[in-house]
Amino acid sequence: MTDSRQLILSMNNISKTFPGVTALENVDFSLQRGEIHALVGENGAGKSTLIKIMTGVEHPDSGSIELDGKLVQVRSPQYSQEIGISTVYQEVNLCTNISVAENIMLGHEPHHFGGIDWKKVNSFARQALERLHIDIDVTQPLGNFSVAIQQMVAIARSLEITSAKILILDEPTSSLDVNEANRLFDLMQKLKDEGIGIVFITHFIDQVYQVSDRITVLRNGKLVGTYATASLSRVELIAKMLGRSITELDEVSKAKATVEQNESRKCLLEAKGLGRAGSIEPFDLDLYANEVVGIAGLLGSGRTELANLTFGIDTPDTGSLTLGNKTVNRFSPLESLKNGIALCPEDRKAEGVVGDLTIRENIILALQARNGWFKFLTTQKQYEIADKYIRLLGISTPSPDQLVKNLSGGNQQKVILARWLATNPHVLILDEPTRGIDVGAKAEIQKLVLDLAEEGKSCVFISSELEEVLRTSHRIIVLRDHKKAAEYPGNVDDQTIIQTMAGNL
């Protein structure tokens, strides 16, 4: 399998420690010419660190890197590009307001008479895209094209500015739909046939099996192993990622069954014709204690808008919102907080965590906001609360004084959950709580949501993964085109929901 002539990159015994965390411990990784190599693992497994070392963003504490059999020191990101390692990140980091051609050629423009030779810029860019079989008008602004095309332009750029031998794709499909993803996979196959080695990082197990030749699994900074994709079953792969047999998902279903038998229905929140022009059309929503309501819908169907309106981020211009017997007439996060509503927002980085504050400060933030300026929790009380939720939610950190920005995505999500649980809300709205986090933490969060419902809370669970909504919800609301399309009981089959989303029902 590992023919040494075919080997482009080999990383041996790589170790890296950050303050308080061992990110990588004696990890080996190898890449061959013309292979797609999937790199998988839970959040905090060390995938990002390994990539950063490959691209020179971080430097390993120990270990060696060989490129084409020669020992190299990847000093800086520029140097890694010079030696043929290209990276395309999850978020497309190009400029959407300038043309496709300019994006591809930026910093490498051909000149004549001391100015930029625009004809050549455009023709070079066209050639670069033709190589990838993409036929678009390169003089158009990049922002006119879909995210998928932008992603491919990013790949074209990275191949154009260097003669890349290695292409690293970090979660390239997270914002693509199925067709777009397939198009990207075709492109990857083409590059593979040209002899480029591709490192493919993804959370989607299906996609790993769809395109990859080999899989390297990391767990807690250690190498679990490298396997030929054909010889490793999905169940085995997930078991290796989690380091245990996968029984959590079954537990989730069981927990849901026990909750459903509880029939004391107490209405906690009632929205009547709540709506806002340009955001979401008027909708009715009843939330009961001991219940999880799932919200399903395609991207842009109004899921986040519904959450934001209910939580008071946006002010509705029609309808009413009643909590128990209290009618809400002032809409703001602070009011909602006082009324016992909580929202874990969709964009964890921008709307959730306060990165440069500690875990403790992040956890007490909402509770403190409700208490006001002058009822300050004592330091001792703050630590008590932080320690309680670190234990309860299993946040892995050496200390509550760790800065939140140093945590993995899954742990950051738990910190935000802790922030809201500390305020003891009646209604908990979770907008994409499992986005970008690994299988194990996903199951934990789903189970937690069901546990909270069992304790008497009402939970709203929003997710773009239908299977996840189906598994956790007692009732499912389907949104389509900024409108509530239908409401189903939790045992509805996925086909009905898909048909509703598509507008056939």
Partner 1 sequence: MKNSVPLFKRIRESRLFWPLVALALILIIDGIFAPGFFKIRIQDGHLYGNLIDIFNNSAPLMLVAIGMTLVIATGGVDLSVGAVIAISAAMGAVLINPALGNKLITNDILTKDATNTPLWLIVMADLAAGTLCGLWNGLLVSRGKIQPMVATLILMVAGRGIAQLITNGQIMTIYYTPYFYFGNGFIFGIPVSIYIVAIVFIFAWFLVRKTSIGLFIESVGINAKSSYYSGVSEKNIKLFVYTFCGFCAAIAGLILSSYVHSADGNNNGLNYELDAILAVVIGGTLMTGGRFSLFASVLGALIIWTFTITMYTFGVPANALLAGRAVLVLVVILLYSDYARRFLNRIFDRKGSQHGATN
Q: Pick from 268, 343, 476, 501: which binds partner 1 (CB under 8 A)?
A: 343
Q: Which residues of 45-79 are buried (b: 16+ CB within 10 A; e: fewer)?
A: bbbbbbbbbbbbebebeebebebeeeebebeeeee
Using CB under 8 A as the binding rule, whether residue 248 contacts partner 1 is answered as no
Using CB under 8 A as the binding rule, whether residue 113 contacts partner 1 is answered as no
CB of 436 to partner 1, least distance (A): 17
Using CB under 8 A as the binding rule, whether residue 78 contacts partner 1 is answered as no
3-state secondary structure of 326: strand
CB of 167 to partner 1, least distance (A): 29
Using CB under 8 A as the binding rule, whether residue 433 contacts partner 1 is answered as no
Using CB under 8 A as the binding rule, whether residue 334 contacts partner 1 is answered as yes
Closer to partner 1 at the Cβ: 121 or 343?
A: 343
CA distance 231 to 466: 29
Q: Pick from 398, 451, 489, 493: which binds partner 1 (CB under 8 A)?
A: 398
Could you list the beta-strand ranges (E) of 253-379. 267-276, 280-288, 291-296, 318-323, 326-328, 341-344
Name the residue with tokens 């690994």.
438
Closer to partner 1 at the Cβ: 47 or 348?
A: 348
| Cβ-Cβ contacts under 8 Å for 77 (sequence gap 6 or more) | 55, 56, 57
Q: Which span (156-164, 181-189, 360-368, 475-483) binds partner 1, by CB under 8 A?
A: 360-368
CB of 412 to partner 1, least distance (A): 11
CA distance 172 to 91: 8
* Chain Cα centroid distance, residue 184: 19
**Contact by Cβ (8 Å): 487, 304:** no
Burial of 483 (0-12, 13-18, 19+ CB in 10 A): middle
Q: Pick from 243, 355, 394, 489: which binds partner 1 (CB under 8 A)?
A: 355
Q: Which span (105-113, 127-135, 169-177, 334-342) binds partner 1, by CB under 8 A?
A: 334-342
Angstrom CA distances, 380 to 7, 133, 375, stand at: 56, 62, 14
CA distance 46 to 60: 12
Q: Pick from 336, 458, 463, 500: which binds partner 1 (CB under 8 A)?
A: 336
CB of 383 to partner 1, least distance (A): 13
Give the pairing of strands 341-344 and 222-228: unpaired
Closer to partner 1 at the Cβ: 18 or 376?
A: 376
- The token duo for 32 is 């061959």
Using CB under 8 A as the binding rule, whether residue 193 contacts partner 1 is answered as no
Using CB under 8 A as the binding rule, whether residue 16 contacts partner 1 is answered as no
- The token duo for 153 is 């332009």
Closer to partner 1 at the Cβ: 46 or 425?
A: 425
Q: Pick from 99, 150, 368, 413: which binds partner 1 (CB under 8 A)?
A: 368
Closer to partner 1 at the Cβ: 145 or 311?
A: 311
Q: Which span (44-52, 178-186, 211-219, 365-373) binds partner 1, by CB under 8 A?
A: 365-373
CB of 337 to partner 1, least distance (A): 4
Using CB under 8 A as the binding rule, whether residue 373 contacts partner 1 is answered as yes
Q: Pick from 3, 135, 356, 467: which binds partner 1 (CB under 8 A)?
A: 356
Closer to partner 1 at the Cβ: 17 or 496?
A: 17
Using CB under 8 A as the binding rule, whether residue 372 contacts partner 1 is answered as yes
Q: Binders of partner 1 among 301-320, rule CB under 8 A?
A: 313
- 322-326 own/partner pairs: CB under 8 Å, 24+ apart: 322/269, 322/270, 322/271, 322/272, 323/268, 323/269, 323/270, 323/426, 323/427, 324/267, 324/268
Closer to partner 1 at the Cβ: 100 or 363?
A: 363
Closer to partner 1 at the Cβ: 404 or 470?
A: 404
3-state secondary structure 157-177: HHHHHCCCCEEEEECCCCCCC
Q: Which residues bind partner 1 (CB under 8 A)?
A: 19-20, 313, 333-334, 336-337, 343, 345, 350-357, 361, 364-366, 368-377, 398-399, 401, 419
